[in-house]
Structure 1
Amino acid sequence: MYLTQLLHQALQTDPDRVFTIDGERTRTVAESAGRIARLAGALAGLGVVSGDRVAMLSLNSDRYVEYLFGVSWADAVITPINNRWSDTEIAYALAESETCVLLVDGAFSTRVDGIRERYRGLDHIVYCGDDICPETMIGYEQLIIESGPAEDARRGGQDLLGLFYTGGTTGSPKGVMLSHNSVLVNALGCFTTGDWLTQHGRMLHVAPMFHLADLFLLISGALAGHSHVTLPGFTPGGVAAAIEQHRITDVLLVPSMLQQIVDQPDIAGFDLSSVRHMLYGTSPISESLLERTRNLFPRAALAQAYGMTELAPVATILRPADHEDPSLRRSAGRPAPHAEVRIVDEDDAEVPRGVVGEIVARGDHVMLGYWQRPEDTATALRGGWMHTGDAGYMDQRGYVFVVDRIKDMIVSGGENVYSAEVENVLGRHPAVASCAVIAVPDERWGERVHAVVVRRPGQQVTADELEKFCREHIAAYKVPRSVDFVAALPLSGAGKILKRELRKAYWSESSRQVG
């Protein structure tokens, strides 16, 4: 299978269907496919050849949709860039992937000089904003006009579809290699559940399109014959207005987004009755938020997906019917049809039901590996199973409950933050002797980044100073929102920091013991 197969099928059966809506701009399947073919031709004209990496740094838009399909059409590899990263982080991903072409919109065009200072390997910068193209860049629309359509390379199967960079447990991002088969098997597997997606509906894309979760929605929606409505980014009022204006039927919203929507003072004034299916992820939803969400979207069936980028991305699904059982609302659901899931001990032996161990998964949706990291790949995929780093248990009915994160990953507002990455930055401050970064509960974001710091003897530093220092090196969402200063960190007999001890004071009142 191949990603652009979805376009060819739609061209044969429904060419006049609205495919994308971006503000006042509406394009049909046929119009979009024609532009995608010309984008592929333009990339070839810029020297892009089979397997080259093409990146995009942009807010959500219809052009992002064209990029995702067009790069594959051109026989190349997508590298969506996290637009919340610092210039240093972006340059690192571009350099490691040896990306040759970068597409950038108006929101990030001023960042290009800083990125190029750190990575000199970009052959071309393509400007995909709506205003005048900067002199140092190539205009996206001009390329579309001047380039002839290319024949679809039909890149697919086990060919590399894209590199999706995640936060690194050792302090630097890792490029997850996903094939066409990986993402299509994932989408088809979820699609067969039959109860989380509207047929011939309208999908709202408000989650960042650099996230694999949104590509999953794009593919799933294409299978269901959807029209795709894009918003540049999330605001509660913007989502409500888009739902009302475009009669949105399907949307993904993480719990922190839902919290802001239900808290919006004028939300009752919007007509949200068109929503039929709502997918949420990154964390279980609280009982109070679930109830408020149901009241606000009375006709919407809720589903939760658990997984990770390395699983393309879904491992388990909590289906709408499961939400009717209060005992299941804290679970991550059952394994999706395409995924085999187990709970294992330190020796990778499956543990009895109800016993906590590491969640592992296998299937055709699992990643090919980490880009240029064979040792990390071998560790993660040992025995043919993807080791998630999440601790959990499976009950007698096959429902998975996530109880901890072995890899100390923090999920704040839907963004993954690896503690080692933040600790590496904090440790470079001259006043910091040692530190540990953990998640603590946060009413708005679910979890927030919290640092516990030991100062060097004779040195003084404030929480504000550490925050400013971190912002110079990492994305804002990774920066600690709170800091405790202590005389010493709790250590195990082997000298390892006991983060569980640090977490106790914050999570003792919570049913979730994660962070």
Structure 2
Amino acid sequence: MYITQGLHRHLQQRPNATAIRFLGRCMTYAELGDRVARLAGALQQLGVARGDRVAMLSLNSARCIEYNLAVPWADAVVNPVNFRWSLAEIIYSLDDSETTVLIVDETFKALGAKILEQAQTVRQVIYAGEGETPEGLLNYETLIAETAPVQDARRRGDDLLGIFYTGGTTGFPKGVMLSHNNLFFSATASLAAGRFGADAVFLHAMPMFHLADFAAMASLFITGGTHVVLPAFTPQGALEVIAKEQINEILLAPTMIQMMLDWRDSHADARDLDLGSLRSVTYGASPITPALLDRARAAFPSAGFAQGYGMTELAPIATTLEAKFHTPEHQASGKMYSAGMPACCVEVAIVDAEDHEVPRGTVGEIVVRGPNVMLGYWKKPEATAQALRNGWMHTGDGGYMDTDGFVFVCDRLKDMIVSGGENVYSAEVETAIASHPAVAQGAVIGIPSDRWGETVHAVVVLKPGASVSEAEIAAHCRERIAGYKVPRSVEFRDALPLSGVGKVLKTELRKPFWDNHNKGIA
């Protein structure tokens, strides 16, 4: 199994089919295959050898897809760079992985020049933009035009496919090592769940450095659907591209869905956009509140909804909640708001601190094993041993499994609030807050308390024009959850701090409260 396998199949059987649509331009599978083989040859001529790391720092583009295929074609290893990071974090990831070649687009060409000066291992930077090539950088299109295509090395199986750095907000990131098998099994799990069909016109709206989008790309290359690429997500841009390109499948983080619905509700002309082509919306990367899911289903009535729960270390899928569970029946039972059931070829269990499986309905740590589990953390054997214990990947997520095998995610274990000896799961409180009609977003953290150890603190973003008091938020929650879980304090903000894929950065929310206290905020 190897990541370029699907490309070879479509080069043989349907070379003139459309592979990519980007900024009004179309590329067939034949054209894509030729460019990938030439880029691989250029990398080899630059000295990239078996197993070397090649990075890309770029907004979404057709060239990102070419990079993801050409690097393994050249027998090398991908290292997509999170463009949300600071320069120090980016250089750390490049030096840590011993990356030798970096590709940058127009947006990051100046940063690429700085990296070439400051990084220890990067010896060449390739400019993949439309303007004049900066001094000291190589030109992407020139390399492709002047290099003959090479044969695919067919890097495969347990060979390292990529180092996908995760974190970077609480210290330097860790490099997750994923093999071709890891990604291939995760891709087939998505296909088994009924997504990414051969007729799929899929919109890459998530950032392509994120593994969720990479896995979607891998699935789509197996079936031969069409990749439509959005350079950077905006709610208006995403909705307009869905209408213009007749997108039928999309992957979004819940915050993206929230932004799209808010923009659509606040712009009368947006309701004229034809979104009827949209048949499948997959949501993931962070939890979704029942209120937002209900709102999204009402806004996109022609679409089936599905969820994927996982993490980078799981390539990334652990469980799936298929569209067939998004029905009134499963809404009433509560299963529609679960993370679903273990994905194809994946085992999931809920365990206690001694790794013993707990009874159904009991909260514990979610652990996973299967062919999707990472090879380990790059150059971090202790962290690898801590995460991969007793044959299971320990996710750090708290959750429980019901009697039918559905997994419910409660919280990150490190985000659990212990108030007066009682465990409070922030996700449960956030769900109660989000059901208030004035609330757009909410995040819940624990803050220091001399009496209780921690108390529940809510940070709330209101909908445009809405007004609500702290007391009203507390009263609303008290009708829905136990009294000890109700926020003791509420802070109103214009926006929540978010990561590049829309996860709330609770570390940033906690810092002002915990900087002078003993509790860690990692």
Q: Does residue 338 of structure 1 match 2:374? A: no
Kept in 1, the 8 Å contact 2:175–2:378? The answer is yes
Residue 289 (structure 2) aligns with = 286
Go from structure 1 to structure 2 and tell me whether the alpha carbon gap of 1:56 and 1:299 turns closer, same or farther (over 3 Å shift). same
SS across alignment from 1:12? helix
Kept in 1, the 8 Å contact 2:116–2:125? The answer is no
Q: For 1:97-496, what aligned pairs fall within 5 Å after superposition?
A: 97-167=97-167, 171-194=171-194, 196-264=195-263, 265-266=266-267, 267-324=270-327, 325-326=330-331, 327-408=334-415, 441-443=459-461, 480=508, 484=512, 489=517
Offset of residue 61 of structure 1 = 0.2
- CA deviations 1:447-476 (Å, max 9, x no partner) are xxxxxxxxxxxxxxxxxxxxxxxx9xxx99
Go from structure 1 to structure 2 and tell me whether the alpha carbon gap of 1:484 and 1:152 turns closer, same or farther (over 3 Å shift). closer
Go from structure 1 to structure 2 and tell me whether the alpha carbon gap of 1:118 and 1:154 turns closer, same or farther (over 3 Å shift). same
Q: 2: CA distance between counterparts of 1:293 and 1:261?
A: 9
SS across alignment from 2:107? coil
- CA deviations 1:196-217 (Å, max 9, x no partner) are 3343110000100000000111
Q: 1: CA distance between counterparts of 2:403 and 2:12?
A: 46
Go from structure 1 to structure 2 and tell me whether the alpha carbon gap of 1:58 and 1:332 turns closer, same or farther (over 3 Å shift). same
Kept in 2, the 8 Å contact 1:284–1:330? The answer is no
Kept in 2, the 8 Å contact 1:284–1:329? The answer is no
Q: Name the Cα RMSD after superposition.
A: 2.9
Q: 2: CA distance between counterparts of 1:379 and 1:272?
A: 46
Residue 426 (structure 1) aligns with = none
Offset of residue 444 of structure 1 = 8.1
Q: For 1:61-80, what aligned pairs fall within 5 Å after superposition?
A: 61-80=61-80
Q: 1: CA distance between counterparts of 2:374 and 2:13?
A: 32
Amino acid at match of 1:56: M
Go from structure 1 to structure 2 and tell me whether the alpha carbon gap of 1:440 and 1:112 turns closer, same or farther (over 3 Å shift). farther
Go from structure 1 to structure 2 and tell me whether the alpha carbon gap of 1:175 and 1:485 turns closer, same or farther (over 3 Å shift). closer
Q: 2: CA distance between counterparts of 1:47 and 1:286?
A: 49
Residue 437 (structure 2) aligns with = none
Q: 1: CA distance between counterparts of 2:462 and 2:204?
A: 21
Kept in 1, the 8 Å contact 2:11–2:30? The answer is yes
- CA deviations 1:296-345 (Å, max 9, x no partner) are 21111000110000000000011112121121133111110121000011
Deviates more, 1:126-135 or 1:37-46: 126-135
Kept in 2, the 8 Å contact 1:198–1:277? The answer is no
Offset of residue 284 of structure 1 = 3.3
Go from structure 1 to structure 2 and tell me whether the alpha carbon gap of 1:184 and 1:388 turns closer, same or farther (over 3 Å shift). same
TM norm structure 1: 0.81
SS across alignment from 2:508? coil
Deviates more, 1:130-139 or 1:298-307: 130-139
Residue 519 (structure 2) aligns with = 497
Amino acid at match of 1:322: F
Amino acid at match of 1:392: G
Go from structure 1 to structure 2 and tell me whether the alpha carbon gap of 1:115 and 1:108 turns closer, same or farther (over 3 Å shift). same
SS across alignment from 1:108? helix
- CA deviations 1:56-106 (Å, max 9, x no partner) are 000000000000000000000000000110000000000000000000001
Q: Does residue 23 of structure 1 match 2:2? A: no
SS across alignment from 2:400? strand
Q: 1: CA distance between counterparts of 2:279 and 2:286?
A: 21
Q: 2: CA distance between counterparts of 1:477 and 1:128?
A: 31
Go from structure 1 to structure 2 and tell me whether the alpha carbon gap of 1:71 and 1:354 turns closer, same or farther (over 3 Å shift). same
Offset of residue 113 of structure 1 = 3.7
Q: 2: CA distance between counterparts of 1:82 and 1:487?
A: 27
Q: 2: CA distance between counterparts of 1:315 and 1:441?
A: 29
Offset of residue 133 of structure 1 = 1.4
Deviates more, 1:173-182 or 1:252-261: 252-261
Q: 1: CA distance between counterparts of 2:515 and 2:245?
A: 56
Offset of residue 219 of structure 1 = 1.1
Gaps of 5+ in 1: 413-418, 420-435, 446-470, 490-495, 500-514
Go from structure 1 to structure 2 and tell me whether the alpha carbon gap of 1:408 and 1:476 turns closer, same or farther (over 3 Å shift). closer
Offset of residue 285 of structure 1 = 2.5
Q: 2: CA distance between counterparts of 1:198 and 1:217?
A: 11
SS across alignment from 1:372? coil
Q: How many residues align?
A: 445
- CA deviations 1:127-185 (Å, max 9, x no partner) are 01122211221000000000000110000100000000001697221000000000001
- CA deviations 1:5-47 (Å, max 9, x no partner) are 1110111111111001110221000000000000000001100
SS across alignment from 1:480? helix
Q: Does residue 11 of structure 1 match 2:11? A: yes
Offset of residue 498 of structure 1 = 8.3
Offset of residue 253 of structure 1 = 1.2
Offset of residue 483 of structure 1 = 6.3
Go from structure 1 to structure 2 and tell me whether the alpha carbon gap of 1:258 and 1:439 turns closer, same or farther (over 3 Å shift). farther
Go from structure 1 to structure 2 and tell me whether the alpha carbon gap of 1:212 and 1:498 turns closer, same or farther (over 3 Å shift). closer
Q: 1: CA distance between counterparts of 2:312 and 2:462?
A: 24
Go from structure 1 to structure 2 and tell me whether the alpha carbon gap of 1:476 and 1:101 turns closer, same or farther (over 3 Å shift). farther
Kept in 1, the 8 Å contact 2:160–2:178? The answer is yes
Percent identity of paired positions between Structure 1 and Structure 2:
49
Gaps of 5+ in 2: 417-425, 431-444, 446-453, 464-498
Kept in 1, the 8 Å contact 2:89–2:168? The answer is no
Go from structure 1 to structure 2 and tell me whether the alpha carbon gap of 1:360 and 1:60 turns closer, same or farther (over 3 Å shift). same
Deviates more, 1:263-272 or 1:53-62: 263-272
Q: 2: CA distance between counterparts of 1:17 and 1:200?
A: 11
Kept in 1, the 8 Å contact 2:174–2:378? The answer is yes
Go from structure 1 to structure 2 and tell me whether the alpha carbon gap of 1:258 and 1:56 turns closer, same or farther (over 3 Å shift). same
Q: 2: CA distance between counterparts of 1:166 and 1:13?
A: 37
Amino acid at match of 1:138: L
Q: 2: CA distance between counterparts of 1:476 and 1:330?
A: 19
Amino acid at match of 1:259: Q
